[in-house]
Amino acid sequence: MHTLIIGQSGGPTSVINASLFGSILEARKQKDIERIYGLKNGLDGLINEQFIDLTNLDLTSLATTPGAILGSVRFKIDAYPKDKDIYEKIKQVFLKYDIKYFIYIGGNDSMDTAKKINDYFKFIDFTAYVIGVPKTVDNDLQNTYFTPGYPSSCKFIATTISEIYLDTRVYIEGRVTIIELMGRDAGWLTAASKIPSLNEENVDLIYLPEIPFDMNQFLIDVKRIYAKQRKVLVCISEGIKDENGEYILKKRIFNTKDDFGHLQLGGTALILAEMVKNKLNLPVRAIELNLPQRCSGHLLAKVDVDYAIKCGKKAVQLLIKKQSGYMVCIEKQNDKLKLGKVKLEKVATFVKPFPKEWIINNNDISQEYLNYILPLIDKEVKVEYQNGIPKHFKI
């Protein structure tokens, strides 16, 4: 009888807890697993032995609760033998608590962490098994058809932009409205702003990081569209860059970096709004959707929740079969979705860009993307309400 530990890492999503839910359910069926521990704040909880006992926990509402209920972390470690003390501590903790199985739910950097721990165990010939479960609203993990978290974010984005569209149409003389969406290097989230066009609620200009952003052409297009219809609706990725590969955001006076050395994004819409005001003298408003894109739990896509749960279950099934060093992935074959596995080394730190062939005229999204996303957001999950708002799981 052994212990399974589960950690959540990186930015949360609205379905990351659904994967946790699936892992716990499947683990409770396994005779080889006696205890199930959640890591408090991911790798930090592992190193500091801060566990949450999930073995017999009531899981009501867990699968529909957004945010990482175990807590998350942005903790970067170097490959062994660098950070040797950290790896030695991890081994000691595994021995102390008879940990044999480890599931890490996260994105690119989290899969890199899982890979490094798995490589260390192999190098020292230590018997423990590591599986990654995909999670990110950015949909930028390689070798998976979609990443759990993305469809629900698209559902929220499309709904919100549809509502903003209606608001921008209220007055005869409107303004230029610029909406900033998440997306450092990949424009998957911003592409979702195309979905409202199916209901004749069109965004006029859409800009993704995959195509260099031309400020002069942007101002020309805004001026032209405003002259025609007296209002303009623009959607941009926070990570759009100029022809030299520099973030537009770098025009900001103060710039900071996160724990992984990435430029802290947010505020690109304000920069463009200032340009519109200063160069075109048009009324303008900047809107940054920010965290609600990843933590909105009241518009969950059914496929998203279902496959987040399935990925969690699949991870346990792989571990019990003594599989290690893989990430669970979602595959599409003959128009049907199925679960598979991919080596962590083929996922860790890589970014899956939005297909350039799905971008039209540098500022619009094609029908091919709509064909991809619509089946993933088609149905909803029933969410339990309490006191007039969604009921959330609490530990």
CA 292 to chain centre: 12
Active site residue 258: no
Q: CA angle 138-144-146, nearest 5°?
A: 45
The secondary structure element, H or E, covering residue 362 is none
Asked if the bond preceding 134 is cis, omega within 30° of 0, the reply is no
Residue type, 289: L
| SS3 at position 341 | strand
Q: Are 140 and 228 in contact (CB under 8 A)?
A: no
The structure tokens listed for 217 are: 């052409």
As to burial, measured by CB atoms within 10 angstroms (0-12 exposed, 13-18 middle, 19+ buried), residue 266 is middle
Three-state DSSP class for 5? strand
Active-site pick, 98, 112, 119, 138: 138
Q: What are phi and psi of 118, to 5 degrees?
A: -65, -45
SS3 of residue 210 by DSSP:
coil
Q: Say what the alpha-carbon torsion angle 107, 53, 80, 311 is, to the nearest 10 degrees.
A: -30
Amino acid at position 325, single letter = G
User: Backbone dihedral region of 286: left (phi > 0), alpha (psi from -120 to 50 degrees) or beta?
Assistant: beta
Catalytic residues: 138
